[in-house]
Amino acid sequence: MAEDKHHLSPRLHPHRLDDEAYRRVGSPVFVTLATAHRRSFLTTPGVPDRFVEAMDWCAAPRGTCVVCYCVMPDHVHLIACSSREDEDLCSFLTAVKKRSWFLFRDAGVEPPYWERSYWDRHARACEDLNDQVAYVLNQPVRAGLCTRAEDWPYSESRGFYVPDAGGHKPERGPASP
């Protein structure tokens, strides 16, 4: 039987972590939220600020710590963790998508805005977190949108050291926010 050229290979790992992974207090999760149909509207003037507003508005009451984020034209990378046992990151991500829906609509962006789900994985170890923050912040450089990560106006590290251009890590751990 001939092999179907259009058949997609099965995923090597699920695109979502199990529900329990979202409830682990202090365990950072790397998340990618993609726009519906990969539409490039997230870096339209005023839109990135509205996304950050939605993210911050949803994080505070849920005890979610956003370690870093990077808004790209058609997706957002972020690393976050929960600081409360009665909340989880799934509810935070759902709330961010809902809140941003209203803010994007008010900015004149036509829906749909987000893909139904998102991609995620756990940050493997605390010593690996700085590398993952650097990975998130360097996304615009890899995409050819800027030459230095610090030149991209739509990203932020919130209290964590990032390895310098030579890949060197600082001697001490995460900074205090």
How confident is residue 128, by pLDDT bands cut at 50, 70 and 90?
Answer: confident
pLDDT digits (tens, 9 = 90+) for 60-110: 999 999 999 999 999 999 999 888 888 888 889 999 999 999 999 999 999
- Report the interhelical angle of 89-106 vs 47-62 (nearest 10°): 150
Is the CB of residue 160 less than 8 Å from the CB of residue 175? yes
Is the CB of residue 76 less than 8 Å from the CB of residue 51? yes
Name residues whose C-beta falls within 8 Å of residue 28's C-beta, 6 or more positions apart in sequence.
Answer: 67, 79, 80, 81, 122, 123, 129, 132
Identify the pLDDT of residue 119.
Answer: 61
Q: What percent of the chain has pLDDT over 90?
A: 52
Nearest to 50 by CA among 61, 42, 60: 42
Identify the pLDDT of residue 46.
Answer: 94
* Higher local confidence (pLDDT), 170 or 129: 129
How confident is residue 4, by pLDDT bands cut at 50, 70 and 90?
Answer: very low
- Encoded tokens for 36: 């519906």
pTM of the model: 0.77
DSSP string across 122-145: E---HHHHHHHHHHHHTHHHHTTS
Identify the pLDDT of residue 121.
Answer: 58
Identify the pLDDT of residue 116.
Answer: 83
Whole-number mean pLDDT of the chain? 79
CATH of region 19-157? 3.30.70.1290
pLDDT digits (tens, 9 = 90+) for 131-147: 889 999 999 999 999 99
Domains of the chain, by residue range, sit at: 19-157
Output phi, psi for 136, to 5 deg: -60, -50
Identify the pLDDT of residue 86.
Answer: 81
